[in-house]
Amino acid sequence: MSGTSLDGIDAVLVAFGQPHPVLISRYYLPYHDTLKQAVLDLHQPSLNELHQTQLVGNQLAQLYTQAVNALLAQTNYTAEHIMAIGCHGQTIRHCPEHGYTLQIGNAALLAELTGITVVSDFRSRDIAAGGQGAPLVPAFHDKLLHHPERHRVIVNIGGISNLTNLPPHGSTSGFDCGPGNIMMDAWCMQHLNKPFDANGDWAKSGKALPELLEKMLSEPFFALVPPKSSGRDLFNMAWLQSKLKGDEPPEDVQATLTELTAQTIALSINAQCNGVEDIYLCGGGAHNLVLRTRLAGLLPECSVQTTDILGVDGDYLEAIAFAWLSQQTLLGQTANLPLVTGARHPCILGAIYSA
């Protein structure tokens, strides 16, 4: 898995067959700055972008191969033992309103380099059926984290934040809430030359600006009812600059962006998850102590913890989910939830590139 945050590759080795998937090993490979910038550049139209897209896709396949090989080197397993690689790829455009989404990574080359069957392009089939193509992970949350008596909500705070609503006696639902780390990370890089605000310490040094927060919350996306999904196509530095007057202290902007993430998650839960008792956080944003504390303050009737307390490593939960999604593809079983994505019907997701 390599997500919207563009920090790197989360690789996991997962065994199925038990009641729950077993995480055997995990490996993280960070992106180098040149590649990260190349991917960022592809989010906007540019000269010769089709050629550049293919070149970057090939680079990603090489890095995915490196991650797979390093992961296997930590274990007693070899490529011959592996049924498949589930590779989400790197999203560079997500435009379900125009009937497409684009994740790059050259799955064919990845299969060739590793000698392992690759399942990729998980989102396109759902979009073809009229869905958003995202989020896809709620189906896995439903299998892994549903409780028969407790009403849980799983909140993944990656580049974009999304939630899965798991009522004990109702249908599972889910949707994107808005920016997770994406704007906080970008602002932090611009002003501190750091990839993220560790523990939210920089945001803590500032104060949220009510007028700026109001401008941000007026974004029409937040008023949409689910199903809905988003990404860098909407939430990017141009979006942020359009809200700024230009004289705001940088630390106050960071505090406001942190408040935006917290409020849009809390507002989403209050609007769509009536009766929730337990909230479990995962993804990189779960490490932001200021954000976690603020969420707990906005949702005082709920317990707010991380999925780690359930025995599921929140940093790798999404990667485990795509291992499960690839298994569903190979078994010929559907894996989208129409109530989540808005698709007309359940679909078998993914394209298979045999080794």
Please give the full DSSP string across 159-181, using - where no structure is assigned: SEEEEEEE-TTS--EEEEEEESS
User: For tokens 């976690």, what's the residue?
Assistant: 292
Under DSSP, the state recorded for 260 is H
The answer, yes or no, to whether residue 161 has pLDDT greater than 90, is: yes
Phi, psi (degrees; rounded to nearest 5) at 230:
-155, -175
Decide if pLDDT at 225 tops 90: yes
- The answer to whether position 301 is within a domain reads yes
Same domain, 215 and 276: yes
- We report the CATH number of the domain holding residue 27 as 3.30.420.40
Domain of residue 34 covers 8-133+316-353
Neighbours of 199 (CB within 10 A): 14
Residue 54 lies in a domain: yes
What is the helix, strand, coil percentage profile of the chain, to 5? 45, 20, 40
Considering the chain, what percentage of its residues have pLDDT values greater than 90?
98
- Do 185 and 91 belong together in one domain? no
Respond yes or no on whether the N-terminal peptide bond of residue 250 is cis (omega within 30° of 0): no
Per-residue pLDDT band at 48 (split at 50, 70, 90): very high
Asked whether residue 148 carries a pLDDT value surpassing 90, the answer given is: yes
Q: What is the pLDDT of residues 238-265, one digit of tens each?
A: 999 999 999 999 999 999 999 999 999 9
Summarised one tens digit per residue, pLDDT across range 87-119 is 999 999 999 999 999 999 999 999 999 999 999
Record the tokens describing residue 152, joined without a space. 């849980």
* pTM: predicted TM-score of the whole model, two decimal places: 0.95
Residues 127 and 24 in one domain: yes
Q: Who contacts 153 (Cβ-Cβ below 8 Å, separation ≥6)? A: 163, 164, 165, 166, 269, 273, 276, 278, 279, 280, 302
Residue 337 lies in a domain: yes
* Residues 60 and 104 reside in one and the same domain: yes
88 and 228 in one domain? no
Model confidence band, residue 18 (pLDDT cutoffs 50, 70, 90): confident
Identify whether the C-beta of residue 82 lies closer than 8 Å to the C-beta of residue 65: no
Structural domain contains residue 1: no
What would the DSSP string read from start to end of 31-65? Answer: PPHHHHHHHHHTTS--TTHHHHHHHHHHHHHHHHH
Quick: pLDDT tens for 295-335: 999 999 999 999 999 999 999 999 999 999 999 999 999 99
Backbone angles phi, psi at 15, to 5 degrees: -105, 135
Determine, yes or no, domain membership for 2.
no
Same-domain pairing of 253 and 127:
no
Q: Are residues 50 and 70 in the same domain?
A: yes
Mean pLDDT of the chain: 97
pLDDT of residue 319: 97
**Looking at the structure, do residues 160 and 215 belong to the same domain, yes or no?**
yes
| Same structural domain, 164 and 242 | yes
CA 256 vs CA 230, 250, 298: distances in Å: 20, 10, 15
Residue 235 has pLDDT above 90, yes or no: yes
Residue 271 one-letter amino acid: A
Q: Are residue 124 and residue 173 in the same domain, yes or no?
A: no
Q: What is the pLDDT of residue 19?
A: 85
Question: What own/partner pairs with CB < 8 Å and gap ≥ 24 does 215-223 have?
Answer: 215/243, 216/243, 216/256, 216/260, 217/260, 217/263, 217/264, 219/178, 221/178, 222/178, 222/264, 222/267
Residue 188 lies in a domain: yes
198 and 270 assigned to the same domain? yes
Which candidate, 12, 312, 15, 26, places its Cα nearest to that of 164? 312
Task: Give me the number of domains the chain comprises.
Answer: 2
Neighbours of 316 (CB within 10 A): 20
Evaluate whether residue 3 is within a structural domain: no
Q: How crowded is residue 225: how many other Cβ atoms within 10 Å of its Cβ?
A: 8
Each residue's pLDDT tens digit, 22-40: 999 999 999 999 999 999 9
Query: Do 186 and 261 belong together in one domain?
Result: yes
Is the confidence at residue 349, as pLDDT, over 90? yes
Give the confidence band of 138 by pLDDT, cuts at 50, 70, 90. Answer: very high
- Residue 147: the pLDDT is 97
**What whole-number percentage of the chain has pLDDT above 70?**
100
What is residue 298's predicted lDDT score, i.e. its pLDDT? Answer: 98
Backbone angles phi, psi at 19, to 5 degrees: -55, -35
